[in-house]
Amino acid sequence: MGESRQSYLEAAASAVSLLRHPAVAASWDKPSALMEFSVAGLAGHLAHQLVRVGDVLAPNGQAGEPVTLIEHYSRSPWVQAGLEHESNLSVRRGGEAAAAAGPAVLVERAQALYEMQSAALVSEPADRVVHLPWSGWSLRLDDFLLTRLVELVVHSDDLAASVGVETPELPTSVIDPVVELLARLAVHRHGPTAVIRTLSRAERAPATISAF
């Protein structure tokens, strides 16, 4: 199995373990560290990353020429949209809906998806292209898994901060590709000079080089 697939599965396993933490259920109805998200909604959004992978692995015969990762993010309206933009409202509604049955059910579903994907990703062709029905375009499977890897790592930190537990420690095989992609997106959005200054010259650093 390719490195990107193994990294995704490691991050997914860690996310399921975090969702199972008693602190998540204990804080279920409280506000999260993310504006406008409850802990339940954030947990649902984290678990939904596995749902997305399951959705694209199902054969649908619609995959076309894949776009690049930079183009994928450039086309996605949520990346630079405000909190009240329909794309972000939809994300929050989806998280709440995913969590509606409660923490135990959410964990059970996430665990089942993880086990299914652990078996399925081994046999997927290296050049597999998947269609993203919610976006309308296609990505290489390994590129799509990298986008989910970013979501799992970022939102695991959000959820851990929301419920007062340590952010899960993940191996460099998971963290390095996330940092690399976020850096590429930051350069695309703000330009190389802004990113270089932020990393090397605090006195000339811009206010932000956020990738999103």
User: Considering the domain boundaries, does residue 43 fall inside one?
Assistant: yes
Q: What is the pLDDT along the chain (212 residues), one digit of tens a residue?
A: 689 999 999 999 999 999 999 999 999 999 999 888 999 999 999 999 999 999 999 877 777 899 999 999 998 876 666 555 565 667 778 788 888 999 999 999 999 999 999 999 999 999 999 999 888 899 999 999 999 999 999 999 999 999 999 999 999 999 999 999 999 999 999 999 999 999 999 899 888 988 88
Q: Is residue 164 part of a domain?
A: yes
* 190 in a structural domain: yes
The count of domains in the chain is 1
Structural domain that includes position 139: 3-204
Closest CA to 131 of 191, 72, 190, 193: 72
pTM recorded for the entire structure: 0.92
Does any domain span residue 72? Answer: yes
Q: Is residue 209 part of a domain?
A: no
* Residue 211 counted as domain residue: no
**Could you tell me if 187 and 193 are in contact, meaning their C-beta atoms sit under 8 angstroms apart?**
no
100 in any annotated domain: yes
Structural domain includes residue 210: no
Amino acid at 172: T
DSSP-derived 3-state class of residue 106? helix
Specify the DSSP element, H or E, that contains 139: strand 137-140
| CATH code, domain carrying 129 | 1.20.120.450
